[in-house]
Amino acid sequence: MQNFAAMDLPFAVEPEDPLAQPTRARLFASLSELKRPAGTAELAERLRLHPNGVRVHLERLEAAGLVVRGQAPQPRGRPRDAWTIASDARPGGDRPSAYADLGRWLARAIPSRPGRLKDVENAGREIGRELAPADAGDGQQTMRATLVALGFQPRERAAADGRLTYCLGNCPYRDAARENQEVVCTLHRGITRGLLEALDPDAELEAFVPRDPETAGCEIEIAGVGQERGQ
């Protein structure tokens, strides 16, 4: 079994931070890895702990604004809790930074030429398909959960024509984007396309609008989510 501890997380934690407690750090890391809602029993099984104790830790994370609790319908009986990372979670009190140094160096090393940008986007599509959870259910729900797990803090906006727009409240790649925003945003666009191809093949990326990485606010517009083309 993989051992998650607070020191394994890609952000600093203080002693009073909820994630300073090892079990809560492992729960948060597990939800980050899954990139989808997960039930109390599933998380308890992953950590090999009793569900009652796991529920207490999840409720502590919920109170700290790090996770949110939803309801998963069941064929029989009452709906069960389904936990996901909160869209505005700030583990350690800081915005996610996504391995800033390595990202900056790579962005600096890749020239912004048309041929290279095409290669960057194609690589992003492969990465996006790899990031998509193998056992994903609802494409829209999983897309949002994946964006949350990656640190983008998305907000959804649905239009009357069926288009869905995600406004990203944080840029976890902001340090790399300072070095070469065109390359970094092209990679992110490719990742988004790859995620859509894996999660909802009938959906299309209609628009991808980059913004200032310091203030975020990038927009991803998707058409045909959860629908078959031609309908």
The structure tokens listed for 71 are 């309801």
User: For residue 34, with 0-12 CB atoms within 10 Å meaning exposed, 13-18 middle and 19 or more buried, which class applies?
Assistant: buried
> What is residue 96's predicted lDDT score, i.e. its pLDDT?
52
In this prediction, residue 106 carries a pLDDT of 76
Per residue of the chain (231 residues), give pLDDT as tens.
344 443 344 444 455 688 888 899 899 988 888 878 899 999 999 999 999 999 999 999 999 999 999 887 777 777 789 898 887 777 765 555 444 566 777 787 888 888 899 999 999 999 999 888 776 667 778 888 888 888 898 999 988 888 899 999 999 888 888 889 999 999 999 999 999 999 888 899 999 999 999 999 999 999 987 654 444
Helical ranges in the chain per DSSP H: 22-34, 40-47, 51-63, 100-109, 114-131, 139-149, 174-199
3-state secondary structure of 56: helix
Q: Report pLDDT for 135.
A: 67
Looking at the whole model, is its pTM more than 0.85? no
Q: Which domains does the chain have, with CATH numbers?
A: 6-88 (1.10.10.10), 100-223 (3.30.1380.20)
Q: Tokens standing for 155?
A: 């907000």
Instruction: Round to whole Å and give the CA distance between 55 and 58.
Output: 5
Residue 17: its pLDDT value, please? 80
Residue 8: CB atoms within 10 Å? 12
**Cα separations (Å) of 213 from 41, 78, 165, 177, 231?**
38, 43, 18, 7, 37
